[in-house]
Structure 1
Amino acid sequence: MLEKTMRINYLVDFYQSLLTPKQYDYMRLYYDEDLSLVEIADLLDVSRQAVYDNLKRTEMILEDYEEKLKLYDKFLKRAELIEQLEAEIDQKEKHEKINDIIVQLKDLS
């Protein structure tokens, strides 16, 4: 569950400008502020089912954006390459490996 929450938080960060204000508010209240469905429903004066439906629909929209644009995937790959680069820097005799990683990083931009 924590992994899903972290993924959704990143997707909201990457794609928030593509969400409606209502979609963003629901996601922020549930994932950032950790409010329950009932608390959000009370706060926004809607049913619990409306909150649930909006969250699920917005999650699907975010996953669709990610499938097409791959911003989160590229972010993870960049982070992994940076970790590899940092590990290789400690071993200065491996300049070729460092150059390969740098090229991969540039290709992700």
Structure 2
Amino acid sequence: MEKKVRLISLYELYQQLFTEKQQAYFEEYYFEDLSLAEIAENHQVSRNAVHDQVKKVEHGLETYEAKLGMLEMAMTYEQLLEKIYAAESLETVKALLDEARIEVEVTIGRD
């Protein structure tokens, strides 16, 4: 997955874990495509301060994902739903749901 798309996907899951300032900088940088200098000017801070905060958010997103795995889980469930919708029989749907149940049990049991 492209880095920017991955970071935006992670941000959608974990954004509430960051300060308002960090959220503003990240959103302006990734969603509004503003440069670090433009963001710094808008908030009357240094370009380096914006850079540091954006990097902290990026690192935090990857750290949260490594520990919680919410994006990975969401992608797995999306793939499962696609398989269920494409299934041609009730037996196939039941088998897919059994497979998902086992995967959830394994995921919940992981440390």
Aligned partner of 2:73 in structure 1 is: 74
Gaps of 5+ in 1: none
2:88 is equivalent to residue 55 of structure 1: no
The partner residue of 1:100 within 87, 95, 100 is 95
Give the TM-score normalised by the residue count of structure 1. Answer: 0.82
Question: Whole-Å Cα distance in 1 between the matches of residues 50 and 86 of structure 2?
Answer: 45
Identity among equivalent positions (%) equals 38
Gaps of 5+ in 2: none
Aligned partner of 2:34 in structure 1 is: 35
Report the AA paired with residue 62 of structure 1: L
Offset at 1:80? 0.9
Offset at 1:104? 4.1
Report the AA paired with residue 61 of structure 1: G
Question: Whole-Å Cα distance in 2 between the matches of residues 20 and 47 of structure 1?
Answer: 18
Aligned partner of 1:6 in structure 2 is: 5
Which 4+ residue blocks in structure 1 deviate beyond 4 angstroms?
A: none
Report the AA paired with residue 33 of structure 1: E
Offset at 1:31? 1.1
Q: Over the residues paired in the alignment, what is the CA RMSD in angstroms?
A: 2.0
